[in-house]
């Protein structure tokens, strides 16, 4: 069935290090993969997204890579800062369900100064 698996569930890094979060999806027809950042008690906010016709996308310290064959995509944050601490969610868009998004379970990232 429809599923998005996200790992790890928690991640702790030192300031300045890189962080990588990985997701796998089940529907090969999925064509859109967003990443959201959610600070405590706040709304999720889109930080980067990628479509299925692209293998990689970068925006300053954030990058996302997509491997359609393996059906997995990853978020890479370089030079992490304490303000990067938050919960990050990946999602995949399912074409055969009216385009709804299926979300991963979330990764709580902690950046220690």
Partner 1 sequence: DGGITQSPKYLFRKEGQNVTLSCEQNLNHDAMYWYRQDPGQGLRLIYYSQIVNDFQKGDIAEGYSVSREKKESFPLTVTSAQKNPTAFYLCASSMRGLAGASSYEQYFGPGTRLTVT
Where along the sequence are the contacts to partner 1 (CB under 8 A)? 4, 6, 9, 32, 34, 36, 42-46, 49, 89, 93, 95, 98-106
Lookup: tokens for 68: 């359609």
Is 102:94 a contact under the CB 8 Å cutoff?
yes
**Least distance CB 16 / partner 1 (angstroms):** 28
Sign of CA pseudo-dihedral 59, 48, 76, 107: positive
Rounded to the nearest whole angstrom, what is the least distance from the CB of residue 47 to partner 1 in the complex? 11
Q: What is the DSSP letter of 15?
A: T
Can you tell me whether residue 95 is helix, strand or coil?
helix
Contact assessment for residue 6 and residue 89, using Cβ atoms and an 8 Å cutoff: yes
- Minimal distance, residue 97 CB to partner 1, in Å: 9
Shortest Cβ 11–partner 1 spacing (Å): 14
Nearer to partner 1, 52 or 78 (CB): 52
55 vs 99 by CB, closer to partner 1: 99
Phi, psi angles (nearest 5°) of residue 74: -135, 150
Q: 15 vs 58, which CB is nearer to partner 1?
A: 58
d(CA 107, CA 3): 16
Toward partner 1, which CB reaches closer, 35 or 80? 35
């Amino acid at each position: 069935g429809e599923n998005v698996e996200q790992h790890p569930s928690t991640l702790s890094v030192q300031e300045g290090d890189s962080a990588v979060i990985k997701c796998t999806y089940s529907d090969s027809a999925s064509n859109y993969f967003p990443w959201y950042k959610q600070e405590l008690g706040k709304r999720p906010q889109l930080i980067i997204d990628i479509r299925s016709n692209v293998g990689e996308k970068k925006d300053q310290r954030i990058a996302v890579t997509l491997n359609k064959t393996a059906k997995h995509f990853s978020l890479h944050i370089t030079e992490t800062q304490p303000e990067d601490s938050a919960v990050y969610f990946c999602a995949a868009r399912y074409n055969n369900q009216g385009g709804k998004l299926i979300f991963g379970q979330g990764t709580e990232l902690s950046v220690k100064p």
